[in-house]
């Protein structure tokens, strides 16, 4: 049965959605690198308006940061069809909303499904948009917003942010979330552009989009800023950025102050905002010029709105409930289809937040009326407990259980958390239940999920599933703690984030696979909890081994055996130089430019120090080498012809190559090019290295040509490119380069040429190999100690080869392993007493920016 009010002429519309064509040929949206002008967008919207018809209908749209759902959404707003916006890719929520509200039209990922030829609803003329509240995504309780609400809030935001038609925003939040939707509204209102992407701010591709399209506006919830800290946002070259906004929850005042100061240095405004879905997104904002002095406030009302504080009986500190009035206040709630016929039932919004007004005329949130728990006769302000824990550097969230206070905390000492929470709440310590988690439970909008926190109380202590998988995560954390000599391991840690290097990579991968059965190719960048969840069963009698690990183990065996003339298989060191570049790309290129530089210099130190100590000891005892060898300067001061001074050429070449690249990447322009072109960049270095490989430039050194660092340089970026080759065509390019450039380098040594080419092709095409389980541990030991075996074997085998060459061979390997263990022990001692960076503890679950304790090594072999 059709309703009585079905004609579109009887309803209002959202002006900015109906007037897109007025902005002409300006860019409205950027989708997959293609500009969609406002005129083209308007034409697409008109086509969908025609398809929706002249009868006003309830249109359910699955939101997404893509062209089709946005066109459908704008068409409905422009024509006056009420929109029920739900998350995309969530079949359960979609089904629940269809069942609860019986929409006339469903637009899912651009596909139209008409459930009724006209409409089965009585739709109020002012109704424009239905959204779930931020804390109840998927709930049948919806916020009813009018056309005036949507337009007024977009205008207010555009006014206080001073959005210009030259600005460009990028989607960092989901479209179905009112904050993400408000970014779209306010920029389209002003004729500005929006880059559509689902990329995370942790992905290099996201920042490539920001730079390529000169994005000037960035929006985020508190969790977004946690991620920005992890990727070294402060060091990114983002000269186009004009303003950064934050909403969706409280951001720690010190971080507000920090981002405000960063914005002042880098030329962007940092704007803290406050809002709720019931206010169509925004109610208050903190002017950037006031943020440094008042970082704990939400600021002032948005243009056109007003705030007041209404006293409440439960407050005894002068705080009251914050009440907002303005043209963006919702019409009311809907819980059934019948509520869609209702008009305005509220004139002001009682936010539920407790606030005070400061002497400066700014508003500060001090708690929430609904976030109180009654335990043991005490009324507990949960918001205040959260704030106290946050002030102590803890990432935590609390909720009221049946008979206890439940505190979810990210990797912290439960005893300390229990004491702090008990003191803040006034409860006895036994009434506080602390549950360590890998990360706080969050809603789809990135806000803390208080119901999920309360549900944590039902987990049995020690239950493996409580840690997120069938594997006991404490064992995995202990393994990382032991091998990486760090106390900062959480369930969300990755090997690379904790400073893993190619030496520890070997030990870690083998022992992890023993625990988990199999390892994915990207295990080193996968959080521990995901590794545990993906654990599989190994094949009987077989285990997989990383190809680069196997290469290192076999190469050092070939090097020592060839020097003892047990067999004649040479060329391993040159393969290892490529493997060094391969590992450099995997471990040293994460984080900001400053982090990269620190990691790379630390890598050089971890190669050079054990080398200089060993060679220095040999020189002191035997006088077998000049001092230039101790300081790895044989390539500068040593002879051109082959002598014993050239024995350590690999270490010397590696140190100078990595130092040169460190200097190169310290240049902001170069660093940005590498991030934008991760595969092309090392290939350009390969081409540059071929100039010295073919002696187009550089000194003529025919005798030691295959040993000089500037001559063998091209192999390092070739391995780097192999690690960056993700597409088949990229692997083909690297393979072709190896097949073309290696032949002829070793003159009349076809076996050596074949060994090097074969090793490079394995790196490119075969990331892992099945290996007899019995021999996996020896491979781990030899690969991990390969640098140390290389350093020591020149000194060991001459004393034993005349007695028994195989004894000399075994002794050379054993001494190298022992020397490695010595340095591991020294590293652990250093890790125990080294000073903390900046004298401040790390926040659990979040790495401090610029922690100098993190070190990464490039490789561990030579020959």
Query: Among positive and negative, which fits the CA dihedral 850, 854, 860, 862?
Result: positive
Helix ranges restricted to H, 162-281? 178-189, 204-212, 222-230, 253-266
Q: How far apart are CA 28 and CA 451, in angstroms?
A: 39
83's enclosing H/E stretch is strand 83-87
Q: Mind giving me the DSSP string for 89-119?
A: T-HHHHHHHHHHH--SEEEETTEEEES-SS-
For the segment 620-644, the average pLDDT, to the nearest whole number, is 77
Q: How far apart are CA 863 and CA 576, in angstroms?
A: 8
Does 467 score more than 70 pLDDT? no
pTM above 0.75, yes or no: no
Q: For residue 153, count other CB atoms closer than 10 A to its CB.
A: 30
Provide the pLDDT confidence category of residue 489 given band limits of 50, 70 and 90: confident
Q: How far apart are CA 372 and CA 369, in angstroms?
A: 6
Residue corresponding to tokens 């043209």: 327
Note whether 381 and 366 are within 8 A (CB): no
**How confident is the model at residue 133, as a pLDDT?**
73
**Higher per-residue confidence, 447 vs 393:** 393
Q: How far apart are CA 495 and CA 507, in angstroms?
A: 12
Does 498 score more than 60 pLDDT? yes
Which of 268-282, 360-374, 831-845 is the least confident region? 831-845
Query: Among positive and negative, which fits the CA dihedral 517, 521, 527, 529?
Result: negative
First to last CA, the chain: 84
Q: How far apart are CA 188 and CA 191, in angstroms?
A: 5
Phi and psi at residue 397, to the nearest 5°: -150, 135
- How far from 645 is each of 65, 68, 259, 698, 775, CA to CA, in Å? 61, 67, 53, 21, 35
For the segment 836-849, the average pLDDT, to the nearest whole number, is 29
- Strand (E) positions, 327-444? 332-334, 349-357, 363-368, 372-375, 378-381, 396-400, 405-410, 432-437
322's enclosing H/E stretch is strand 320-325
Q: How far apart are CA 665 and CA 683, in angstroms?
A: 15
**Higher per-residue confidence, 63 vs 524:** 63
**How confident is the model at residue 704, as a pLDDT?**
47
**How confident is the model at residue 179, as a pLDDT?**
92
Residue corresponding to tokens 């094949």: 539
For 290-337, the pLDDT digits (tens) are: 999 999 999 999 999 999 999 887 565 678 999 999 999 999 999 999
Q: How far apart are CA 571 and CA 559, in angstroms?
A: 8
Does 3 score more than 70 pLDDT? no
Phi and psi at residue 452, to the nearest 5°: -65, -35
Does 533 score more than 70 pLDDT? no
Nearest Cα to Cα of residue 854 among 624, 598, 674:
598
160's tokens:
């206080």
- C-alpha torsion 112→115→121→127, nearest 10: -10
Provide the pLDDT confidence category of residue 5 given band limits of 50, 70 and 90: very low
Nearest Cα to Cα of residue 481 among 470, 468, 469, 495:
495
Does 2 score more than 50 pLDDT? no
Provide the pLDDT confidence category of residue 207 given band limits of 50, 70 and 90: very high
Q: How many CA atoms lie within 13 A of 539 on its CB side?
A: 10
Q: How many CA atoms lie within 13 A of 426 on its CB side?
A: 11
The SS3 call for residue 728 is helix
Contacts of 530 by beta carbon, 8 Å cutoff, 6+ apart: none
Q: How far apart are CA 489 and CA 508, in angstroms?
A: 14
For the segment 157-163, the average pLDDT, to the nearest whole number, is 97
For 235-249, the pLDDT digits (tens) are: 888 999 999 999 987
**How confident is the model at residue 139, as a pLDDT?**
60
Planar angle of CA 157, 161, 163, nearest 5 degrees:
90
Domains along the chain with CATH numbers = 8-363 (3.40.50.12780), 377-459 (3.30.300.30), 545-833 (no CATH)
**Higher per-residue confidence, 662 vs 536:** 662
Nearest Cα to Cα of residue 717 among 692, 682, 684:
682
């Amino acid at each position: 049965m059709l309703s009585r009010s079905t004609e579109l002429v009887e309803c209002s519309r959202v002006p900015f959605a109906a007037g897109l064509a007025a902005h002409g040929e300006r860019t409205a949206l950027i989708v997959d690198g293609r500009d969609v002008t406002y005129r083209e967008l308007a034409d697409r919207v008109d086509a969908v308006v025609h398809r929706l018809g002249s009868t006003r209908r309830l249109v359910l749209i699955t939101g997404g940061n893509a062209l089709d759902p946005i066109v459908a959404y704008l068409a409905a707003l422009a024509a006056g069809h009420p929109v029920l916006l739900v998350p995309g890719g969530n079949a359960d929520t979609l089904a629940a909303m269809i069942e609860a509200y019986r929409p006339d039209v469903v637009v899912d990922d651009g596909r139209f499904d008409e459930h009724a030829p006209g409409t089965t609803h009585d739709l109020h003329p002012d109704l424009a948009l239905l959204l779930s509240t931020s804390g109840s995504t998927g709930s049948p309780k919806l916020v009813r917003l009018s056309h005036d609400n949507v337009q007024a809030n977009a205008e207010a935001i555009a006014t206080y942010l001073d959005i210009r038609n030259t600005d460009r925003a990028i989607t960092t939040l989901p479209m179905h979330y009112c904050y993400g939707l408000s970014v779209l509204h306010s920029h389209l209102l002003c004729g500005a552009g929006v880059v559509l992407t689902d990329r995370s701010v942790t992905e290099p591709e996201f920042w490539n989009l920001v730079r390529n399209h000169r994005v000037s506006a960035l929006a985020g919830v508190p969790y977004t800023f946690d991620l920005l800290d992890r990727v070294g946002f402060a060091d990114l070259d983002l000269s186009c950025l004009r303003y950064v906004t934050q909403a969706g929850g409280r951001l720690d005042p010190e971080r507000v102050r920090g981002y405000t100061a960063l914005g002042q240095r880098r030329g962007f405004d940092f704007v803290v905002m406050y809002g709720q879905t019931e206010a169509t997104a925004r109610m208050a904002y903190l002017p950037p010029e006031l943020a440094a002095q008042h970082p704990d406030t939400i600021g002032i009302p948005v243009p056109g709105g007003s705030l007041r504080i209404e006293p409440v009986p439960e407050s005894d500190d002068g705080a009251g409930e914050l009440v907002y009035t303005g043209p963006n206040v919702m019409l009311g709630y809907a819980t059934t289809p019948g509520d869609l016929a209702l008009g305005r039932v509220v004139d002001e919004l009682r936010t539920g937040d407790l606030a005070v007004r400061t002497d400066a005329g700014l508003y500060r949130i001090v708690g929430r009326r609904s976030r109180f728990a009654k335990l043991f006769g005490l009324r507990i302000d949960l918001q205040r407990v959260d704030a106290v824990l946050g002030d102590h550097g803890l990432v935590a969230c609390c909720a009221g259980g049946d008979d206890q206070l439940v505190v979810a905390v990210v990797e912290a000492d439960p005893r300390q958390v229990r004491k702090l929470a008990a003191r803040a709440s006034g409860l006895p310590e036994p009434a506080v239940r602390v549950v360590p988690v890998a990360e706080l439970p969050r809603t789809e909008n990135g806000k803390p999920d208080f119901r999920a926190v309360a549900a944590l109380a039902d987990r049995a202590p020690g239950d493996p599933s409580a840690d997120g998988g069938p594997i006991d995560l404490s064992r995995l954390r202990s393994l990382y703690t032991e091998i990486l000599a760090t106390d900062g391991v959480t369930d969300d840690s990755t090997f690379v984030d904790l400073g893993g290097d190619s030496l520890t990579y070997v030990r870690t991968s083998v022992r992890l696979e023993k625990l988990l059965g199999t390892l994915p190719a990207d295990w080193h960048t996968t959080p521990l909890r995901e590794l545990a969840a993906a654990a599989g069963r190994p094949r009987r009698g077989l285990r997989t081994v990383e190809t680069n690990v196997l290469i290192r183990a076999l190469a050092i065996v070939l090097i020592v055996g060839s020097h003892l003339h047990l067999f004649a298989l040479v060329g391993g060191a040159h393969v290892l130089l490529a493997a060094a570049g391969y590992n450099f790309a995997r471990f040293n290129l994460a984080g900001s430019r400053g982090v990269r530089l620190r990691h790379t210099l630390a890598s050089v130190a971890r190669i050079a120090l054990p080398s200089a100590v060993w060679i220095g000891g040999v020189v002191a005892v035997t006088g077998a080498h000049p001092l230039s060898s101790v300081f790895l300067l044989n390539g500068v001061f040593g002879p051109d012809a082959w002598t014993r001074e050239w024995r350590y050429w690999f270490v010397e070449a590696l140190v100078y190559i990595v130092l040169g690249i460190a200097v190169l990447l310290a240049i902001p322009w170069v660093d940005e090019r590498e991030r934008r072109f991760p595969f092309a960049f090392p290939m350009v270095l390969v081409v540059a290295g071929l100039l010295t490989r073919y002696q187009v430039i550089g000194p003529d050194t025919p005798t030691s040509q295959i040993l000089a660092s500037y001559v063998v340089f091209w192999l390092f970026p070739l391995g780097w490119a192999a690690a960056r080759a993700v597409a088949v065509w990229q692997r083909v390019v690297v393979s072709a380069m190896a097949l073309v450039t290696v032949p002829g380098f070793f003159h009349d040594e076809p076996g050596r040429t074949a060994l090097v080419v074969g090793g490079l092709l394995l790196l490119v095409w075969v990331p892992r190999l099945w290996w007899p389980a019995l021999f996996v541990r020896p491979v781990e030991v030899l690969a991990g100690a390969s640098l140390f075996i290389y350093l020591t074997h020149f000194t060991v085998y001459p004393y034993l080869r005349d007695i028994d060459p195989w004894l000399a061979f075994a002794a050379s390997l054993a001494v190298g392993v022992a020397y490695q263990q010595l340095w591991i022990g020294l590293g652990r001692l250093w890790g125990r007493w080294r000073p903390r960076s900046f004298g401040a503890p790390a926040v659990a679950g979040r790495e401090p920016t610029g922690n100098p304790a993190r070190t990464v090594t490039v490789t561990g072999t030579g020959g």
